[in-house]
Homo-oligomer: A and B are copies of this chain.
Amino acid sequence: MIPKDHPRYESLMMREKLVKGCRMGITVLQGLIAHGRGEMFDYVLGERSHDFALRAEKVAVALMLLSKRPVISVNGNTAVLVPKEISELSRLLNAPLEVNVFHFSKERVDKIRSYLKRFGAEVLANCDAELKGLSHARRIVDRRGIYVADTVLVPLEDGDRCEILKRHGKRVIAIDLNPLSRTAMKADVTIVDNIVRAVPNMVEFAKELKDSSREELKEIVNSYDNRETLRMALKAIRVNLTKIAESL
């Protein structure tokens, strides 16, 4: 339907996937709006993986490999945008996927679980535990997953859940194109990159690092400063907006 030579082919295909996800009952319309916001941040960042993002992606992988119980939280948008890639990452990191959505229904959660299982990952979705301190549906978790995890990768997250995960003593790795969001600010590692580039990048880093010693992994993690990542992302946006303004 969309010609491959269209200058915005990648971007339009992402929208198509989300719209298809709506028909499948996996994504919700609110997710389209959230995606639109992300698109605009991606646009002002130049739609590429900056060095600060690649750095954060590598650190995130090292941190997951160092963790005892790492879990990857998956919402509707993530499930339709990168199902294959996130499943591969899950296997490489030995970290199960857990379905976790803001607009909750058991039916929707089951649909996402079934969809992800097709890509061969272990998918938790039992909804049998609760994160205290959170009033909306993101609190509903799996007893074997996020509930007992020490590190959680949260692509496309709500700010207040990130905060609660931190308060429950977990390390949080966020993928968020908005470096100003509460999630971005509160996470231990913030990947300011589009999920469709971030997850494949992380798959490559996981292949590279999976046989590294704990000392090597610790070295990668210890030298990392997340505030520096956020500063550099904000600077990149500022520089880009100035460039666009000047070209007008």
Contact = CB atoms under 8 A, between A and B. Distances in A.
14 contacts: A5-B135, A6-B160, A7-B182, A15-B33, A18-B29, A29-B32, A34-B36, A36-B36, A37-B39, A37-B43, A180-B248, A230-B245, A231-B245, A231-B248
A122 B235 CA distance: 47
Contacts of A159: 7-8
Interface string A226-237: 010011001101
Contacts of A231: 245, 248
B178 A40 contact: yes
A147 interface: no
B35 A33 contact: yes
B30 A180 contact: no
A127 interface: no
Interface string A1-30: 111011110001001101100100000111
Contacts of A28: 19
Contacts of A38: 36, 40
A241 interface: yes
A32 B1 CA distance: 18
A92 interface: no
A8 B102 CA distance: 13
A244 B248 contact: no
A167 interface: no
Given A8-B159, A44-B237, A242-B238, A136 B180 contact: no
A214 to B, nearest CB: 30
Contacts of A158: 8
Contacts of A136: 2-3, 6
A54 interface: no
Nearest to A33: B36
Contacts of A22: 29
A69 to B, nearest CB: 28
A244 B34 contact: no
B242 A230 contact: no
A132 to B, nearest CB: 15
